[in-house]
Amino acid sequence: MELKPIIPFEPVKTDQIPEGKQWISQVKWDGVRILTYNDGNRVRLFNRKLKERTSHYPELLNIQSYCHAKSVILDGEVIALGADGKPSFHEVMRRDGIRRMERVGQVRKQVSIVYMIFDVVFCDGQWINEFKLADRIEILSDIMIPGENIQLVPSFSDGNTLFEAVKKQGLEGIVLKDLNSKYAINGKDHRWQKKKNYRDLIAVVGGVTLRQGIVNSLLLGLYDDEGHFCYIGHAGTGKLTASDWRELTEKIQPLVVSERPFINKPQRINEAIWLRPVITIKIQYMEWTEGRSIRQPSIQAFVDVSPEECIFETL
Amino acid sequence: MHTMWKGSISFGLVNIPIKLYSATEDKDIKMRYLHSKCNNPIKYEKICPVCNEKVEQEQIVKGYEYEPGKFVVVDKEDFEQLAGMKNKAIEIVDFIQLEEIDPLYYNRSYFIGPGENGGKPFKLLKRAMEETGKIGLAKITIRSKESMAAVRVYDKGLVMETIYYPDEVRNIDHVPGIDEDFAINDKELDMAKQLIEQLTTPFEPEKYKDEYREALLDLIHHKISGDEIKVAAERPKTNVVDLMEALQASIDQTKTASEPAKTTTKKRKTTKKKEA
């Protein structure tokens, strides 16, 4: 039997923490969403866009070592810790972003990953997505054997306390889930809600500035409802290393254009070099200002998202 | 797979939205050029030898050298005007038999996938081509270069092969020695034919692999593992379990500070899982 990859359940954004006994909260781990499919013969990994990731994470392929079930679909987040011991999106992208597969063996030695598993959708030949979350969690804890690369995401009863702890530890946020909820394949609704500690978005690079011939900041944009490319701010700090900046400087050469791609005028316009909006990047930021720009943006990592998908999101 | 091009296939009045994906990939191992003294990647600078100054990207234009040292500049607007003449379509002009194209003409291969709302007409075209055994000969413009292309059925989908224009294929008459005549006797010919028969097998591409690349990769891996210890030592050892414990400590702290701990069934489950 072949298990066809599914689009996972997504939480909606919230600012409030819902009240009531049916709500549990879990840490929102900052990594890449990966579902594991074991049809009994073969283990395959897919991300939420249904792109295959099987050869990216060889650590997860020996499924008998961490899961009793004969066949299973597991849902979780693959994370990698940074030097500060906190999940780092930049680090996990060093694995997830590999396109020349012969490099996996070598990068694996430098970046180890942990699979934070929080749900099970299929188990021992049966779809259990219609089961209540409480039952799925019970099944999950029965079939899983946590280890070095495999952890179960614990559930907590008090969302407020967990959120305070998450803030203290500098983690991404929490996800609140209704214990009575079914697993909505390709769904996104209020039965799963996320409350973020820090905010992030994926923006398109529409220009750069240089210092001594090397890129030192990115001019970022998003598309609005009418398809206009709008400038939202510039970012020069974050996770990029000196050699990342140098590589970027070469990568942008074929993208240079003479006309400004943004509909509105950015600051720093005099020194800017305009680019065809192609490169996409994950940015962490504090908040939006009234003029539709972001405060204190910090670069996380380049991502493989098509520019058209980078739009203003309504909360 | 990464979309390389979005457009449509058109023939007659039919228009099918499609996407193109590269069908083959070059697996050559990429080497970078380093400064031998310090092992850092070297950087290329563009310099004008006449003005003796560094040239920035925005100061570069394209020019055609129509006689030595004399150029006409073809600027961006010129190129855009030319490209603007073409719409973004693979325009099938004729249907022909696959065998009619010599493999020499093939240049690059792309998988064709259905575009938005193109699923059904795409399937229809594929079925029709499959059942007639025909391939489509098309004109296409990718990145301001116009090419000929063959659209054909491959496995469960369609592929497009760009093909060279006849004037891009060189004339075999120009191969030195090709026209020399020799007397060949039947015995020699039979022997050669026998040899061919002996070596004939079905084509199994899995049998063949790039041995040079594998050897090079091997060498690289050996070199990497040579200083593997150094790399490992640089990375601080961190553990997600430490982080989860720190989190639990923060929770406990908050709880004792605010109110007596509420023990719930959920909490119990959490502990159980951790011990498992």
pLDDT tens-digit readout, A59-110: 999 999 999 999 999 999 999 998 888 899 999 999 999 988 888 988 888 8
Check residue B83 and give its pLDDT. Answer: 66
Confidence of residue B234 (pLDDT cuts 50, 70, 90): very low
Which of B266, B267, B276 is nearest residue A146 as measured by Cβ atoms? B276
Judge contact between B97 and B135, C-beta under 8 A. Answer: yes
Check residue B191 and give its pLDDT. Answer: 85
Please give, rounded to a whole number of angstroms, the shortest distance from the CA of A170 to a CA of chain B.
Answer: 10
Q: What is the mean pLDDT of residues A26-48?
A: 95
Check residue B276 and give its pLDDT. Answer: 36
A241 touches chain B (CB under 8 A): no
Which of A85, A106, A161 is nearest residue B242 as measured by Cβ atoms? A85
Number of H helices, E strands in chain B: 7, 11
Check residue B144 and give its pLDDT. Answer: 65
Residue B182 phi, psi (nearest 5): -135, 145
B273–A152 C-beta distance less than 8 A? yes
In chain A, the percentage of residues whose pLDDT exceeds 70 is 98
Nearest CA in chain A to B236: A83
Residue B86 has pLDDT above 70, yes or no: no
Check residue A99 and give its pLDDT. Answer: 86
Which stretches within A217-315 are classed as H helix?
242-251
Nearest CA in chain B to A141: B273
Angle between helices A159-169 and B240-258 (to 10 degrees): 130
Please give, rounded to a whole number of angstroms, the shortest distance from the CA of B124 to a CA of chain A.
Answer: 24
Check residue B233 and give its pLDDT. Answer: 40
Q: Which residues does chain B have within 8 Å of residue A258's beta carbon, measured at their own beta carbons?
A: 58, 76
Residue B50 has pLDDT above 50, yes or no: yes
Check residue A190 and give its pLDDT. Answer: 93
Q: Which residues does chain A have within 8 Å of residue B236's beta carbon, measured at their own beta carbons?
A: 83, 85
DSSP state for residue A170 in the 8-state scheme: T
DSSP state for residue A179 in the 8-state scheme: T
Check residue B46 and give its pLDDT. Answer: 87
HSE-CB of A148 using CA atoms within 13 angstroms: 6
Average pLDDT, chain B: 81
> In 3D, which of A204, A220, A230 has the Cα closest to residue A291?
A230
Residue B265 has pLDDT above 50, yes or no: no
Check residue A213 and give its pLDDT. Answer: 85
Q: Which residues does chain A have within 8 Å of residue B247's beta carbon, measured at their own beta carbons?
A: 27, 165-166, 169, 171
Average pLDDT, chain A: 91
A258–B58 C-beta distance less than 8 A? yes
Instruction: Say which range, A231-245, A296-310, B24-38, has the weakest mean pLDDT.
Output: B24-38
Check residue A273 and give its pLDDT. Answer: 92
B267–A156 C-beta distance less than 8 A? yes
Using only the alpha carbons of chain B, give its radius of gyration.
31
Q: Which residues does chain B have within 8 Å of residue A102's beta carbon, measured at their own beta carbons?
A: 29, 217
Please give, rounded to a whole number of angstroms, the shortest distance from the CA of B55 to a CA of chain A.
Answer: 11
Check residue B84 and give its pLDDT. Answer: 62
> In 3D, which of A145, A150, A85, A88 has the Cα closest to residue A117?
A150
Cα distances from B103 to residues A27, B109, B162, B251, in angstroms, run 57, 12, 11, 69
A284: Cβ–Cβ under 8 A, 6 or more apart, which residues? Answer: A198, A199, A200, A238, A297, A298, A300
A283 touches chain B (CB under 8 A): no
Please give, rounded to a whole number of angstroms, the shortest distance from the CA of A235 to a CA of chain B.
Answer: 22
Check residue A109 and give its pLDDT. Answer: 85
pLDDT digits (tens, 9 = 90+) for A274-301: 999 999 999 999 888 877 889 889 999 9
Bigger pLDDT: B247 vs A138: A138
pLDDT digits (tens, 9 = 90+) for A143-184: 999 988 999 999 999 999 999 999 988 899 999 999 999 999
Q: What is the DSSP string of B125-181?
A: HHHHHHHHT-EEEEEEEETTEEEEEEEEEETTEEEEEEE--GGGSPPGGGSTTTT--
Residue B188 has pLDDT above 60, yes or no: yes
Nearest CA in chain B to A170: B247
Q: What is the mean pLDDT of residues B194-221?
A: 85
Instruction: Say which range, A69-73, B215-219, B236-240, has the weakest mean pLDDT.
Output: B236-240
Which of B43, B258, B276 is nearest residue A141 as measured by Cβ atoms? B276
Nearest CA in chain A to B233: A110
Judge contact between B20 and B160, C-beta under 8 A. Answer: yes
Q: Assess: ipTM above 0.85.
A: no
- Scanning the structure block, which residue is given the tokens 């003796």? B52
B264–A157 C-beta distance less than 8 A? yes
> In 3D, which of A232, A210, A235 has the Cα closest to residue A221?
A232
Distance CA A96, CA A246 (A): 21
Judge contact between A104 and A54, C-beta under 8 A. Answer: no
Residue B259 has pLDDT above 60, yes or no: no
Residue B273 has pLDDT above 50, yes or no: no
Please give, rounded to a whole number of angstroms, the shortest distance from the CA of B238 to a CA of chain A.
Answer: 5
Please give, rounded to a whole number of angstroms, the shortest distance from the CA of A162 to a CA of chain B.
Answer: 6
Bigger pLDDT: B82 vs B206: B206
Distance CA A309, CA A301 (A): 17
B40: Cβ–Cβ under 8 A, 6 or more apart, which residues? Answer: B34
DSSP state for residue B264 in the 8-state scheme: -
For residue B11, the Cα-to-chain-centroid distance in whole angstroms is 27
A145–B276 C-beta distance less than 8 A? yes
Bigger pLDDT: A36 vs B117: A36
Burial class (CB in 10 A: 0-12, 13-18, 19+), A254: exposed
Token pair in block for residue B273 = 């899982």
Distance CA B246, CA B263 (A): 19
Question: Is A56 strand, coil or helix?
Answer: helix
B269–A137 C-beta distance less than 8 A? yes
pLDDT digits (tens, 9 = 90+) for A108-144: 888 999 999 999 999 999 999 999 999 999 999 999 9
B251–A81 C-beta distance less than 8 A? no
Check residue B260 and give its pLDDT. Answer: 44
Token pair in block for residue A156 = 């907590």
Residue A1 has pLDDT above 70, yes or no: no
Residue B219 has pLDDT above 80, yes or no: yes
A100–B250 C-beta distance less than 8 A? no
Distance CA A267, CA A219 (A): 9
Distance CA A28, CA A173 (A): 5
Residue B31 has pLDDT above 60, yes or no: yes
Residue A195 phi, psi (nearest 5): -120, 120
Confidence of residue A217 (pLDDT cuts 50, 70, 90): very high
Bigger pLDDT: B226 vs A206: A206
Residue B235 has pLDDT above 80, yes or no: no
Instruction: Say which range, A33-42, A97-106, B91-100, B259-268, has the weakest mean pLDDT.
Output: B259-268
Q: What is the mean pLDDT of residues A187-191?
A: 93
B251–A162 C-beta distance less than 8 A? yes
A/B interface, count of CB pairs below 8 Å: 100
Token pair in block for residue B84 = 């603007």
A187 touches chain B (CB under 8 A): no
Distance CA A243, CA B135 (A): 48
Judge contact between A146 and A152, C-beta under 8 A. Answer: yes
Check residue A134 and give its pLDDT. Answer: 96
Judge contact between A176 and A17, C-beta under 8 A. Answer: yes
Q: What is the mean pLDDT of residues B228-233?
A: 42
